[in-house]
Amino acid sequence: MNITDEEKKAVYKTIYNRRDTRGEFKSDDIDDEVISRILDAAHHAPSVGFMQPWDFVVVKNKEVKEKIKDGFQVAHDEAKEMFDDTRKDVYKTLKLEGITEAPIGICITCDRSRTGDVVIGRTANMEMDLYSSVCAVQTLWLAARAENLGVGWVSIIHHDTLKEVLNIPEHIVPIAYLCIGKVDFFHDKPELEKAGWLPRLPLEQLVHYDSWENKK
Amino acid sequence: MNITDEEKKAVYKTIYNRRDTRGEFKSDDIDDEVISRILDAAHHAPSVGFMQPWDFVVVKNKEVKEKIKDGFQVAHDEAKEMFDDTRKDVYKTLKLEGITEAPIGICITCDRSRTGDVVIGRTANMEMDLYSSVCAVQTLWLAARAENLGVGWVSIIHHDTLKEVLNIPEHIVPIAYLCIGKVDFFHDKPELEKAGWLPRLPLEQLVHYDSWENKK
């Protein structure tokens, strides 16, 4: 199946305009069809040994979102104390999640025992199934961006909290909790770049040739 | 920035036609411009706290590829012994990498200390930077597919071997070694699905609503 030049441009446009959305969510509902499309796209991510280790918990219930938000608050309060004084002041001003504002949340997990103990491609690197679920996250994120939906990854929450709130079984590993919704706008650059927290690194600084010490 | 319906279709087409390429690589060179484009796309993956923890080691040298291939062979021989007898016979027939056939390899890594000890969004979940580098892998994979290039993730290799062969510093974590090149064709389905190793799971089996026990 050939991808045309126009189609290629669309893929790059989507990659470059994907953002981590926190403050721009609108409360408008998302059509179930759209949710199904982005979930099905995620389900077509690569997986080690075709294991498809992911599950998706779609959260629409207000009380459930509020419990997730409480869990964020606990981890956020802990985090504040970890930064030095200058960074702490900036950190406190940042909007880092849109859990209750976004119409839906999706928790993506990894079932490490889904296809038995021995998995093709996981034999030397046991983390490969976790990485497969991360590939599903990024695939869902790009599909959602193509639907003009914002996605925000809430990583400031203890995974035990996610398991408790969403009744996730003991043997299942939460990978990501994503907030998803229509947005007022997409930022033109990552917010932490705009806020001067960190600059975008020059690509050439990160590329090596045949051996780590060889750069152009 | 609005994504049009046509552009959305292009993104889905790319997601659904992405494959893990092993046996279909052509030896044709890839233009440096194309390599730069897919690397720059990967560099625009999401990263925790805008950490951009990735590096990219681009491998073109034949001797380096052969050492990587030797590393695969060691891990592959170990893996063979892990499957039960029925699976072992099938496992042995599978083509699982195209290291020396593909014109380039790219090792994607994670520098866990890149921006200091405390990273926004990594405070409750220390694995978040590893996951950022995995997002870079999947972004590169989709960009490469949009360029009609095949990508194969070689996970059957010990990461210490990658570090040794590519002179990767001790504190850097290898995430993926990818083989990349033009291809004779893309399979219409994942090869392990075609080979009857495992079926595609029905999506509805994997989707839960508000709580793990609620399915439609």
- For A208, name the nearest residue in chain B, comparing CA atoms only: B57
* Residue range A14-41: mean pLDDT, rounded: 98
Residue B216 scores a pLDDT above 90: no
| Rounded-to-integer distance, Cα B33 and Cα B39, Å | 10
**pLDDT at residue B177, rounded to an integer:** 98
d(CA B49, CA B115) in angstroms, rounded, equals 9
| Cβ distance of A155 and B40 shorter than 8 Å | no
In order of A148, B95, B143, B212, the CA distances from A116 in angstroms are 38, 21, 32, 21
A214 vs B200: CA distance, rounded Å: 42
Among the partner residues B59, B124, B146, nearest to A3 by beta-carbon distance: B146
Query: Which pLDDT score, from 0 to 100, does residue A202 have?
Result: 98
Residue B165, token pair as written in the block: 């062969």
Q: Residue A216: which pLDDT band, with cuts at 50, 70 and 90?
A: confident
Q: Which of A2, A124, A200 sits opposite B75 (nearest CB)?
A: A124
Question: Which helix (H) or strand (E) element contains residue B50?
Answer: none
Written as one letter, the residue type at A18 is R
CB pairs under 8 A between A and B: 296
Contacts of A197 (CB under 8 A, 6+ apart): A90, B49, B50, B120
**What pLDDT, on the 0 to 100 scale, is given for residue A77?**
95
Given an 8 Å threshold on Cβ–Cβ distance, is A43 in contact with B203? yes
Whole-model pTM: value is 0.98
Residue A165 reports pLDDT greater than 90:
yes
Name the CATH topology of A19-206. NADH Oxidase (3.40.109)
Percent of chain B residues past pLDDT 90, beyond the cut: 94
Find the CB nearest A206 among B37, B54, B128: B54
Judged against a pLDDT cut of 90, whether residue A86 lies above it is answered with no
Angstrom distance (rounded) from CA A60 to CA A171: 24
ipTM for the whole complex: 0.98
Query: Residue B214 — pLDDT band, cuts 50, 70, 90?
Result: very high
